[in-house]
Amino acid sequence: MNDGAARARHSRFDTNDDARYRLLVEAITDYAIYMLDEDGYVSSWNPGARRFKGYEAAEIIGHHFSNFYTPEDREKGLPARALATAAREGRFEGEGWRLRKDGSRFWVHVVIDPIRDPSGALVGFAKITRDLTERKATEDALAVSEQQFRMLVQGVSDYAIYMLSPEGRVSNWNAGAERIKGYTPDEIVGRHFSEFYTPEDRATGEPAKGLKQAETEGRFEKEGWRLRKDGTRFWASVVIDAIRAPDGRLIGFAKITRDITERRDTQIALERAREALFHAQKMEAVGQLTGGVAHDFNNLLMAVLGSLELLRKRLPADDRIHMLLNNAFDGAKRGVALTQRMLAFARRQDLSLTAANLRALVEDMGDLLARSLGPTITLQNAIPRGLPPVKVDVNQLENAIINLAVNARDAMPGGGTILLTARTAEITETSPGKLIPGAYIRLALSDTGEGMDPATLARAMEPFFTTKGVGKGTGLGLSMIHGMAEQLGGRLALSSEKGKGTTAELWLPAADAALRAIKPAQAATQTTDAGDALTILVVDDDRLVLFNTCAMLEELGHTVSQASSGKEALAYLRGGGAADLIVTDHAMPQMTGAELAEIVKTERPGLPILMVSGYAELPAGAASALPRLTKPFSIDDLAGAVARQGIKSAP
């Protein structure tokens, strides 16, 4: 293009500039673009202004722009201030409510620029308005949402909800945090959150580990001990979440803490209750098994001991033979002692209950205890005088005290002190535990020995559990005492700590008035002289025991008939069989000795019955009042039991 053509085009553009700018402004509909004169009257109007404000150009040109302002803004003089600011500073910009022609309001962003002529004189203003109502509504909704969320967080009192800076400093604080941790916002905001951790956790760097995991993995969750302002501890569930900007930059952490101390305590109590139930069920199952084994073992020992006794009477005088026989006899007796302990644990031993004075009982045992404990052990009897008597089997209680004392001695190889104390206790309906409400005496034996760790203490009363070397204990001592105490209606409680000794506490029921009135029975003089020769029916389902009992009675000079079951015994009696006395086992299949006794009492009134059993329990009723003989028994025991029936043979 030559210079002449270029000048012609430029001249055309200059000529049409005003028209072009007018076309540009008229084409804009998203902005209201119009002019005001120097006094604020509208002098131009574009389609965007018409769309926003509803006025046609003819309706608004020549009118003051303050018509677009709300009455309250006009009262404040906002239109005039806006023009003055634009004229003075070269620009006015702001947001606010404006009015449409129909009176409705809309939120706008306004820019007012002054227009000046070449000499600098003010000739008017250019005004650009944008409708931001929709954005305003969104922002208002967001603000309301944020306010509601803030109120929600502040209103939560069961959770501590607060934010941390990237370094771990508290940046805000809700009401739950104040309630749980005890700090007000003024006291804690700006301080490091590690103050809530225990000294041992701070020493191992737990706060930093929590933040690091939250930063790298996005979340940290854990339970542990935390500190309140007053220094008390509570068990907390903690969650820390990382907070990041849209560009991924870490800007802080959200931390939620809940006090779950009560839940933890409840859970621990439930677990302990479950463990106690499991232990009780295990001990009950072991007791059932032990009782059954002891019963069968009793029958075997019955046959062994009886046969040895009869054999000893028939053997010639040979020292070597008698030494071997006595050795076998002593071994069988040790087996009897073992079965008695097993039955005691199973709460099936035969008890002879009486009212006993604890202090007097321990004093009477003084010499025996001294010999059992040795010179390095000091025994202190601090049982007070005047305690109510207890309901016990004296022999069994003496054995229990000796067992406890020997255990204490073994726990003090270098010597020490054993202290015996006792005090009264009352169990009510609301008392914890399984003891029947009533009065009890708590007999405690404490030592200064090695003590037990928790694992050993938990198993101490289990049968056959022992910490002693092989051959130095059966592991039945404590289980026997436990069984005896429960059979009496009491219990055995152990407390111990490694290096601080052990205390064994026997809860024994206080003797009632009826038991106190009963005088202790004098031991019957046992003799092999059974008096008159009797006709005796022996009933036992165990062939060995049946043979052995019959042999003993025959040795005593009696005439013996035998039956291997209750049904067979009834057939014998109903067939006219003679009998001055029935000696029957209790634990038999199909028909027990007690059931047999009930039928015999009806069909043969006055026929004496001697009940033989290795168990303590007999069913309630007439059978429980029958004279009894405990297995295993010797020939002297049997002779005495028969003699005590006071039966005269038929003429």
Q: What is the pLDDT of residue 471?
A: 43
The pTM assigned to this predicted structure is: 0.42
CATH label of the domain that carries residue 360: 3.30.565.10
Report the pLDDT averaged over residues 329-351. Answer: 61
What's the CA gap between 171 and 177, in Å, rounded?
12
Q: What is the share, in percent, of the chain residues with pLDDT greater than 70?
A: 78
Q: What is the pLDDT of residue 568?
A: 94
The verdict on 402 and 493 lying in the same domain is yes
Query: What rounded mean pLDDT belongs to the chain?
Result: 81
| Banded pLDDT at 347 (limits 50, 70, 90) | very low
Say yes or no to pLDDT of 401 above 80. Answer: yes
Place of tokens 């951790």: 197
Q: Side chain identity at 624, as an amino acid letter?
A: S
Residue 389 lies in a domain: yes
Residue 279 lies in a domain: yes
Say yes or no to pLDDT of 13 above 50. Answer: no
Decide: 456 and 468 in contact? Cβ < 8 Å.
no
Q: What angle do CA 527, 533, 535 make, to 5 degrees?
A: 120
Report the pLDDT averaged over residues 233-248. Answer: 92
Say yes or no to pLDDT of 320 above 90. Answer: no
The verdict on 360 and 338 lying in the same domain is no
Residue 524 lies in a domain: no
289-298, 346-355, 511-520, range with the lowest pLDDT:
511-520
| Banded pLDDT at 66 (limits 50, 70, 90) | very high
Write phi, then psi, for 422 (nearest 5 degrees): -155, 150
Q: What is the pLDDT of residue 647?
A: 75
Q: What is the pLDDT of residue 356?
A: 87
Q: What is the pLDDT of residue 90?
A: 92
Better-predicted residue by pLDDT, 329 or 645: 645
Give the pLDDT confidence of 553-588 residue by residue, as tens digits: 998 899 999 999 999 999 999 999 999 999 998 888
The verdict on 400 and 512 lying in the same domain is yes
Better-predicted residue by pLDDT, 336 or 439: 439
| Banded pLDDT at 313 (limits 50, 70, 90) | confident
What one-character-per-residue DSSP string does 544-584 give?
HHHHHHHHHHHHTT-EEEEESSHHHHHHHHHTT---SEEEE
CATH label of the domain that carries residue 165: 3.30.450.20
The verdict on 280 and 200 lying in the same domain is no
| Banded pLDDT at 328 (limits 50, 70, 90) | confident
Give the pLDDT confidence of 163-179 residue by residue, as tens digits: 899 999 999 888 888 99
Residue 648 lies in a domain: no
The verdict on 503 and 576 lying in the same domain is no
CB-based contacts of 25, cutoff 8 Å, min separation 6: 33, 44, 46
The verdict on 377 and 512 lying in the same domain is yes
CB-based contacts of 232, cutoff 8 Å, min separation 6: none
Place of tokens 């910009």: 93
37-41, 91-95, 488-492, range with the lowest pLDDT:
488-492
Give the residue from 325, 344, 363 where a domain finishes. Answer: 344
Residue 165 lies in a domain: yes
- Domain total of the chain: 5
Q: What is the pLDDT of residue 528?
A: 41
Q: What is the pLDDT of residue 274?
A: 78
Give the residue from 98, 132, 166 where a domain finishes. Answer: 132
Report the pLDDT averaged over residues 120-134. Answer: 90
Say yes or no to pLDDT of 253 above 60. Answer: yes
Q: What is the pLDDT of residue 287?
A: 56
The verdict on 375 and 502 lying in the same domain is yes
The verdict on 439 and 571 lying in the same domain is no
Q: What is the pLDDT of residue 522?
A: 40
394-408, 460-474, 518-532, 613-627, range with the lowest pLDDT:
518-532
Q: What is the pLDDT of residue 24?
A: 60
Report the pLDDT averaged over residues 358-362. Answer: 89
Most confident of 21-25, 256-260, 343-347, 450-454: 256-260
| Banded pLDDT at 419 (limits 50, 70, 90) | very high
84-93, 336-345, 597-606, range with the lowest pLDDT:
336-345
Give the pLDDT confidence of 176-212 residue by residue, as tens digits: 889 999 999 999 999 999 999 999 999 999 999 999 9
Report the pLDDT averaged over residues 603-628. Answer: 73
The verdict on 253 and 304 lying in the same domain is no
Report the pLDDT averaged over residues 601-608. Answer: 91
Q: What is the pLDDT of residue 530?
A: 46
Give the residue from 290, 313, 344 where a domain finishes. Answer: 344
The verdict on 384 and 494 lying in the same domain is yes
| Banded pLDDT at 19 (limits 50, 70, 90) | low
| Banded pLDDT at 325 (limits 50, 70, 90) | confident
Report the pLDDT averaged over residues 226-249. Answer: 92
The pair of structure tokens assigned to 507 is 């809860």
Q: What is the pLDDT of residue 9?
A: 43
Neighbours of 374 (CB within 10 A): 9
Residue 146 lies in a domain: no
CATH label of the domain that carries residue 613: 3.40.50.2300
Say yes or no to pLDDT of 436 above 90. Answer: no
Please name which of 503, 387, 491 lies closest in space to residue 431, comparing C-alpha atoms.
491
The verdict on 60 and 169 lying in the same domain is no
* Segments forming the whole domain that contains residue 301: 271-344
The verdict on 626 and 601 lying in the same domain is yes
Contacts 24+ apart (CB under 8 A), 212-221: 213/240, 214/240, 214/241, 214/242, 214/253, 215/242, 215/250, 215/253, 218/242
| Banded pLDDT at 151 (limits 50, 70, 90) | low
Better-predicted residue by pLDDT, 88 or 306: 88
Burial class of residue 577 (count of CB atoms within 10 Å of its CB; 0-12, 13-18, 19+): middle
Give the pLDDT confidence of 268-307 residue by residue, as tens digits: 888 877 776 666 566 566 555 555 566 666 667 777 777 8
Residue 52 lies in a domain: yes
Q: What is the pLDDT of residue 339?
A: 64
Write phi, then psi, for 434 (nearest 5 degrees): -105, 5
Q: What is the pLDDT of residue 5?
A: 46
| Banded pLDDT at 11 (limits 50, 70, 90) | very low
What's the CA gap between 148 and 293, in Å, rounded?
73
Residue 523 lies in a domain: no
Q: What is the pLDDT of residue 467?
A: 60
Q: What is the pLDDT of residue 217?
A: 93
Decide: 597 and 606 in contact? Cβ < 8 Å.
no
Say yes or no to pLDDT of 414 above 80. Answer: yes
